[in-house]
Structure 1
């Protein structure tokens, strides 16, 4: 196989397993200082993992005695990790249902600046009554409505990122002009649920458009996913069919024209998203798993590498690993799995610091407003 797969990990508390924080290797206090997440991101970066996603939701975690019932804000956590890393992409989950689209795009653009062009986001929605009650802004809506709105949020974010041309900031002290107002454009965007007018308050991000990802965990998310840069596809059941459906939806959207002003193929990069618990000892692995959650792979590194090769043959562009424990499984991913994938030529070299778009082989989008003036 000539193409190289994208590699990603998920950072979620102490790990995807709800009892991960109880392991003897974990300092529970480090979950809320961000040190646990920082250590995982740095280990993954050193190994050459391309990006990390950060789990989040508007709903509070369940208040269960033996589980962590709090979590750090994903966007804030990514911003904490950005200055302490220099290669790995950082994509926090942001729920758009009850948040203002203008502030969402400004936050993502700011993360792109803080990370020197490694920022992005996982766009998510909420249909729960709990989140609606907490925010108090409106009543819960069906999944189809929330994902339709998410498509508009992604679209207007790209418009707002383009509202500043790349050379709008001139910093001309001789004339006292900091910006060229002719290179800042007015966005007039109206959707069924919100209206945006005016330019962004943040200049155009280093990547032009930070990377937008969507987790395709319900059928209603398909259209939004088809317009994303990355799609996280949970689980491996009927993988080939689901990959084909995403590609078909992407081609159908707007007649297959490039998304968001991006030159290049219309289809997003698809990453199969799998929960993993890595242990060569079957008895130890079963003990750690404890039947508490469904994992896609429980076992050794060699078998997981075999599976990743099979998933690549099914048409995915990469793998998004959700480790059961950050302290136990991320070191195994970094020290054993990633080198094995590299030896099998499934992934590329570690690479140098640079933008996430360059790392993923995605072109920097042209500015739609600058183009319209030419």
Structure 2
């Protein structure tokens, strides 16, 4: 589908993070609100560095309470077992019927390392190299079952066609994995992988493995430069750059209601803060900003983090998103059922089935 400006429709996502919320109800409520706005997906952050509920477990609870919106928890690749991580993400894809994503992240501090006691903290470059290897082996394990590997024939007692089950023997720099997976191939083939490409090392992983890369910029020119860099790097790694969606990450403070954006925000644009680009103003000016960046071809969409979760998400959906829908720049309903369909991404072909079973 295309927008009136001839470009593809916008992709919009929102963060559900809420400090001190340990009950599932606030996350379910926010996810349903985002779904009413037809957003592509919602994210929920997670880290070993601070208290809080497990993001993947929370979104597994949100899954049966929603029907269309994509669900993307942060699951770190540091100090965790790659085999278990891929199985957990695949399970979320099954329970959500094809709406799962996975925001890859790393743990850099010595305090986080001490929680596990297995190894010391490592430099970011080494951690992101490991993250790329985890993304790689996860895809192999998701493909270790062909789509029709399950037989479930009670008469013969056969559960699986062993010829369609492929063994994975992967050796990384810090781990090794032998498959196949214990979970059948997910409904999406590969759940959507999301990487915050703010850092140089993370950008390398995003270019090679991510379906969605999040960049942070205070103007369209910088966002466009980052998108171009990522697409070119994806091409050099052997990927089709059109299989990568680049979203601008932006924290939004819509507490000023319908008032114009703060002058210090560039007349409606974001300004840099210690936490990244921040927009402060009203839903109307935010819609104008999003439309302008999209019109310029700077990004494929936005990942928006409400400063005040409940207040700003409501104003975002009922104000900004509604305006973008009215202008024909964003969908008014979900034409598909999976997160890959929302993002306009095809379902990956099983690498082992194509290779004739060779692993």
* TM-score when normalising by structure 1: 0.86
- C-alpha separation in 2, matches of 1:160 and 1:357: 19
| Cα-to-partner distance string for 1:258-279 (whole Å, 9 max, x where unaligned) | 5xxxxxx555100101000112
Note the 1:1-374 alignment, pairs <5 A: 1-2=5-6, 3-14=8-19, 31-60=21-50, 70-226=51-207, 227-237=209-219, 238-253=222-237, 256-258=238-240, 265=241, 267-278=243-254, 279-280=256-257, 296-312=278-294, 313-352=296-335, 354-373=337-356
Secondary structure in 2 matching 1:7: strand
Q: Decide whether aligned partners of structure 1 residues 280 and 295 sit closer, same or farther in structure 2, where only a CA change above 3 A counts.
A: farther
CA contact 1:160–1:200 (8 Å) conserved in 2? yes
CA contact 1:36–1:326 (8 Å) conserved in 2? no
- C-alpha separation in 1, matches of 2:106 and 2:81: 13
CA contact 1:235–1:296 (8 Å) conserved in 2? no
CA contact 1:251–1:266 (8 Å) conserved in 2? no
The one of the two structures with greater contact order (alpha-carbon pairs below 8 A, sep at least 6) is 1
Q: Decide whether aligned partners of structure 1 residues 188 and 294 sit closer, same or farther in structure 2, where only a CA change above 3 A counts.
A: closer
Unaligned runs of 5+ in 1: 15-27, 61-69, 259-264
- C-alpha separation in 2, matches of 1:251 and 1:150: 20
**Aligned positions, number:** 338
How far 1:209 sits from its partner (Å)?
0.3
- C-alpha separation in 1, matches of 2:325 and 2:284: 13
* TM-score when normalising by structure 2: 0.89
